[in-house]
């Protein structure tokens, strides 16, 4: 199991800073829950989603590239891609309109986005062992 490096202790301010963010974020979230409208029309909705999907594609590509290169960045790239997939699943399901759109979003989340995100979390957690297993399975298929 990986641990925090010894020299990381010099960043003692990180945990209190993150705790302060949580303390501020919780009441802010409650304010938003009260103030935000349940329905909102947005300009550039399409650009927001296209941009998000491009970022997701870039994160997945970076994950693949860092694995091929056996880069130390592979776990970080996998964690970013997993996070984006979880966010994509959440917003697709929550923001889907109409019954058909909701069913499609739910199926995509359950069958594609969440399983891939879980795989990427596993990859980020046990990168060396997972990459070796995937590469071995890939070579076996040829």
The DSSP result for 113-134, as a single string, is IHHHHHHHHHHHHTHHHHHHHH
Q: 3-state DSSP call for residue 43? A: coil
Give residue 9's pLDDT.
58
Query: Domain tally for the chain?
Result: 1
Give residue 75's pLDDT.
92
In this structure, is residue 93 part of a structural domain?
A: yes
In this structure, is residue 33 part of a structural domain?
A: no
Mean pLDDT of the region 94-99: 92
Q: What percent of the chain has pLDDT over 90?
A: 58
In this structure, is residue 25 part of a structural domain?
A: no
In this structure, is residue 55 part of a structural domain?
A: yes
pLDDT band at 70 (very low <50, low <70, confident <90, very high): confident
Burial grade of 106 (CB within 10 A; 0-12, 13-18, 19 or more)? middle
**Host domain of residue 79:** 42-141
In this structure, is residue 28 part of a structural domain?
A: no
In this structure, is residue 116 part of a structural domain?
A: yes
In this structure, is residue 20 part of a structural domain?
A: no
In this structure, is residue 17 part of a structural domain?
A: no
Q: What is the pTM of this model?
A: 0.78
């Amino acid at each position: 199991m990986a641990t925090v490096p010894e020299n990381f202790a010099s960043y003692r301010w990180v945990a209190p800073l993150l705790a302060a963010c949580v303390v501020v974020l919780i009441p802010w979230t409650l304010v938003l829950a009260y103030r935000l409208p349940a329905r909102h029309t947005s300009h550039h909705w399409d650009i927001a989603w296209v941009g998000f999907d491009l970022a997701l594609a870039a994160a997945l590509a970076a994950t693949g590239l860092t694995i091929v290169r056996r880069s130390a960045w592979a776990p970080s790239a996998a964690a970013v891609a997993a996070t984006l997939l979880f966010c994509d699943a959440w917003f697709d399901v929550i923001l889907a309109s109409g019954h058909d759109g909701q069913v499609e979003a739910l199926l995509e989340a359950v069958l594609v986005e969440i399983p891939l995100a879980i795989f990427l979390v596993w990859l980020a957690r046990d990168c060396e062992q997972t990459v070796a297993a995937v590469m071995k399975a890939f070579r076996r298929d040829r």
